[in-house]
Chain A
Amino acid sequence: MEWKEILVRYGELSTKGRNRHAFTGRLRDNIRYAFADLPKFKIITERDRMFIRPNEQETMDELIKRLPNIFGIQSFSPVASCSLELEDIQQTAIKIVESLDRTDKTFKVTVKRSYKPFEMETNELQQFVASHVLRKFPDIKVQMKKPDINLHVEVRKDAVYMMAEVIPGAGGLPIGSNGKSLLMLSGGIDSPVAGYQMLRRGVRLDAIHFYSPPFTSERSKEKVMDLAEKLSRFGASVKLHVIPFTAIQQEIQKQIPDNVSMTTTRRMMLKIADLVREETEAMAIITGESLGQVASQTLESLTAINAVTNTPVLRPLISMDKQDIIQIAQDIDTYEVSIRPYEDCCTIFTPASPKTKPKLDKVEYYESFKSFDEMIEQAVSEREIMMFPIKKKDKFSEFL
């Protein structure tokens, strides 16, 4: 089937009142960004829909394949076009219906005739097209209310446009329409899912990872880089900050009693994340915490940990079961990366029995003997920053 353009229907965007312009503009930019590797195409943004017009059929096929990953699109339809000749209209209608699954499907033709001098009237054309299609495919039934296949025919001055298929989009909001937040990316199953959930709500991501060489290997860092790369496939780049954490962890081990060392470790991580968040002008911090999953994720622990900052800490997985989280991880293709068996900095120096109900005042008392501020600042300043997706080879390679 030869398609002329793609009609894109916005999801929640249509409800965004006077901000709609900003949202649709963002969606347009994101589409441009996500398909920067394809030849140039035209995007026409209208009030409640958008048209994408590529020049080549290959670009069209690629767009149809990849558009379902773009947040902020409720659904989209490939549109065919033909001349104003009646015979041409018939043939195109047949081709479109032919390309769809027709078994046990109901059918309807909708005509819009904005080009008034056209030789047939709206109802006339509707019957003309429908009868031709039904003659060709006798097994489909006509149904006016909620048909499975609704063949839209629109007569414009330059051509007749036709479409039938409605492909569901990813929903959500265009990435970037809800600002930027910093994701704490451990390398486990949960944090990439948390990141994905927020991406879906239009949040742009920076990610932070704590790296404790030589206790954690280069492999564990690569794992996190791969996860950041996976997250960057949803239409926005992800900047990863890797924090050298060894010195702080060793200091914690020296200073803080075993059973609350985990709480302090999390507190230091959150402090560092907050500094990085401030520097990168992100608004919130995102974690993959799920209530009660482990000792650090009880309400008591979360309270003690959260006490180091006033920054909103978003926990999109807080009420989710592990199985559901795993399901999403599999769907977004991060699960296989997450289960690679490398140690991360949370699994080293793990005390045998961490307190599940740490007392904030106790923890603060233990931490008061040593100021971690200087070490924290140093760790932040010595962080390694990486950008994902790793820029295409051709961007830099011409210079090297």
Chain B
Amino acid sequence: MYYFDHSATTKPHKEVLDTFVKVNEDFFANPASLHELGVDAHTLLSRARKQVADMLATEETKVIFTSGGTESNHFAIHGLAKKMQGRGKHIITSSIEHPSVIESMKQLELQGFEVDFLPVDENGLTSVEDVTNRLRKDTILVSIMHVNNELGSIQPIEQLASVIHKTSRALFHVDAVQSFGKYPVSFQKLDADVLTLSGHKFNGLKGTGIVAWKNHVSFEPTIVGGGQEFGMRSGTVSVASAVSFSKAMRLAYENQPTMLKKYQEWNKRLRESLCEIEGIKLLSPDSAAAHILTISARRLKGEVLVNALQAKNIIVTTSSACSSKQTKISHVIKAIGVPDDYQKGVIRISLGTSNDDQQINYFIEQFTKIMKQVKGE
């Protein structure tokens, strides 16, 4: 199988899966228990948490484990908004965020918050100037993703952070679900206040994720109860999930520089070959992340290409998995102003650790053939 849908999800690494099983067998105790088994589970959980914190350059008391990217984003946005509403009710985000961010924002709007959804340019980029102009005295939160899931555009996070921190008291949340393991992600590097990650995007398990923060940030928890995870997310912690997450994260972290070089090389080759095919438009900007290449075929339906490629054992998707089953045109595609002819023929090729040189060649070869066939040549 030639899998090019890594931005939807990845296959868990064997080590990660083994860890999950073994920890469930050997450290099944409740980490909140006082007995030795519980203390062991708690120690293991703390070690996992410390490892995550270290990689992100924050403290271990500032990381909580969640069920994944959507919960993390929901927790970060709702948690911060509710906690800080005394100071103001204005929030800034972009129009190409992941649905877990967009929908959370819409919920907040209904609860009396004022949310600015900033437009993006044709490259899918939020403008720093735009954010600067929108920042107000009562702006409490800015939430901008690091790498966009549908286009791969890399937002200017460092510049945004600098502006936000210099000119306002707003906190800066960065959804780094698509970037971790592909690009350097840490508080030191990005200068965000809150980061959210999802395990299954870097060969971890589905149902694992984290929220991490630094310094002074505090949240109003949504899930209350036994006070686990520093009272931020009650409920017995799945130690095995947490540990498997930290393992997947470490592997991704260690391999990131090597993998990035490969993605860049493959991306270049794909771009060079695909742009020569008539009727194909590259939607991902040149500056986009190397592991995501979104293209569109004129007057074709993305679904047709997905099926044709699947017949050749190649797995790609029409834009993001989150919206691919809906027939409507993605909000991201709309936001960057794709010409009408190209709006329906979007497919996303996303690279990951399971790919290699030969697979890239095969993809180019098969894709070129398929395009000839559909055009009746």
Contact = CB atoms under 8 A, between A and B. Distances in A.
B2 to A, nearest CB: 32
A391 B44 CA distance: 10
A398 B39 CA distance: 18
A239 interface: yes
Contact of A391 (B23, B43, B246): B43
A399 interface: yes
Please indicate which of the listed interface residues B19, B42, B43, B51 has the most CB atoms of chain A within 10 Å of its own CB. Answer: B43
Contacts of A399: 19, 22-23, 44, 48, 243, 247
Contacts of A239: 39
Nearest to B249: A400
Contacts of A369: none
Interface string A267-294: 0000000000001100000000000000
Interface in B33-50: 34, 36, 39-40, 42-44, 47-48
B74 interface: no
Contacts of B47: 396-397, 400
A395 to B, nearest CB: 8
Interface in A53-72: none
Contacts of A279: 34
B250 interface: yes
Interface string B22-37: 1100000000001010
B43 A400 contact: no
A387 B243 contact: no
A81 B30 CA distance: 50
A391 B40 contact: yes
Contacts of A280: 34
Interface residues of B, number: 17
A399 B21 CA distance: 10
Contacts of B40: 387, 391
Given A385-B39, A387-B39, A400 B247 contact: yes
Contacts of A400: 47-48, 51, 243, 246-247, 250
B43 A396 contact: yes
A387 B19 CA distance: 23
B34 A387 contact: no
Interface string B239-257: 0000100110010000000
Nearest to B243: A399
A398 B16 CA distance: 11
A3 B314 CA distance: 67
Contacts of A391: 40, 43
Nearest to A391: B43
Contacts of B44: 396, 399
A399 B40 CA distance: 13
Contacts of A387: 36, 39-40, 43
A391 B26 CA distance: 15
Contacts of B48: 399-400
Contacts of B42: 385
A279 B48 CA distance: 27
A279 B35 CA distance: 11
A279 B34 CA distance: 9
Size bin of chain A's contact surface: 10 to 19
Nearest to B48: A400
Nearest to A385: B39
A387 B243 CA distance: 19
Contacts of B51: 400
Contacts of B19: 398-399
B22 A385 contact: no
A387 B23 CA distance: 19
Nearest to B240: A399
Nearest to A381: B227
A161 to B, nearest CB: 39
A385 B34 CA distance: 9
A160 to B, nearest CB: 44
A385 B38 CA distance: 11
A398 B43 CA distance: 14
A399 B23 CA distance: 8
A385 B36 CA distance: 11
A300 to B, nearest CB: 36
Interface string A356-394: 000000000000000000000000000001010001000
A325 B72 CA distance: 54
A217 to B, nearest CB: 16
A96 to B, nearest CB: 43
A387 B34 CA distance: 11
Contacts of B39: 239, 385, 387
Nearest to B47: A396
Contacts of B250: 400
B228 to A, nearest CB: 13
Nearest to A390: B43
A378 to B, nearest CB: 12
Interface string B121-156: 000000000000000000000000000000000000
A400 B245 CA distance: 9
A43 B131 CA distance: 73
Please indicate which of the listed interface residues A279, A398, A400 has the most CB atoms of chain B within 10 Å of its own CB. Answer: A400
A241 to B, nearest CB: 10
Contacts of B22: 399
B13 to A, nearest CB: 13
A377 to B, nearest CB: 14
A67 B114 CA distance: 71
Interface in A240-299: 279-280
Contacts of A398: 19
Contacts of B43: 387, 391, 396
A104 to B, nearest CB: 52
A391 B47 CA distance: 11
Contacts of A385: 34, 39, 42
Contacts of B23: 399
A353 to B, nearest CB: 40
Interface in B207-253: 243, 246-247, 250
Which are the 9 A-B pairs with shortest beta-carbon distances?
A399-B19, A399-B243, A396-B44, A387-B39, A396-B47, A400-B51, A399-B23, A400-B246, A400-B47
13 contacts: A280-B34, A385-B34, A387-B39, A387-B40, A387-B43, A391-B43, A396-B47, A397-B47, A399-B23, A400-B47, A400-B243, A400-B246, A400-B247
Given A387-B43, A399-B44, A400-B247, 9 more contacts: A239-B39, A385-B39, A387-B39, A399-B19, A399-B23, A399-B247, A400-B47, A400-B51, A400-B243
